[in-house]
Amino acid sequence: MMPELLEALAARLRILEDREAIRDLIASYGPLADAGEARALAALWTEDGIYEVVGFAQAEGHSAIAALIEGEAHRTLMADGCAHLLGPVAVEVDGDTAIARGHSVVFRHSPAGYAPYRVAANRWTLKRRPEGWRVAHRRNALLDGNETARILLAPGHPAS
């Protein structure tokens, strides 16, 4: 009986550790984006990972993802003053893959102060790698009433 109990506890602990690692990874996105750390941000993804901003851009691989942060649109946002806030996220772990669902808000500074610039739904598909959890696909869609954003937040729907 005792080995079975220990095995069950070890399995539960692993899921909790996986969820915490995934939440830490997602939480690191905002500070890296705001600091302009394009390469470190891109390293959150798998080598062939995809970052999809519905209606705006899709980047595949570390170089393309880093280029989004190094691009004019993001540099202008940083020059104005911005804050990328993500989470909390709901995380579902299934072995070496996981899905995380949640919100992101980008605040932009103006002479009147900070205001929401972009409020979006996010679905993250993650894979366990030898170096830890990495993003295989992040799909982000504005919460502007369109069905795509609602689907991203709903449990049980495919990641893309």
Domain spans, the chain: 2-153
Query: CA-CA distance, 154 to 150, in Å (whole number)?
Result: 6
State whether residue 122 is helix, strand or coil: strand
Q: What is the pLDDT of residue 102?
A: 97
Considering only CA atoms, which of 3, 14, 7 is closest in space to residue 96?
14
DSSP state at residue 36? T
Q: What is the pLDDT of residue 2?
A: 87
Within 13 Å of residue 19, how many CA atoms lie on the same side as its CB? 14
Q: How many CB atoms lie within 10 A of CB 27?
A: 14
Q: Which CATH number fits domain 2-153: 3.50.30.50, 3.10.450.50, 3.30.530.20, 3.30.450.20?
A: 3.10.450.50
Instruction: Judge residue 112's burial from the number of C-beta atoms within 10 Å of its C-beta, 0-12 exposed, 13-18 middle, 19 or more buried.
Output: exposed
**Joined tokens for residue 72:** 């004019």
Q: What backbone phi and psi angles, to 5 degrees, belong to 66?
A: -60, -35
pLDDT in tens, the chain (160 residues): 688 999 999 999 999 999 999 999 999 999 999 999 999 999 999 999 999 999 889 999 999 999 999 999 999 999 999 999 998 999 999 999 999 999 999 999 999 999 999 999 999 999 999 999 999 999 999 999 999 999 999 997 664 4
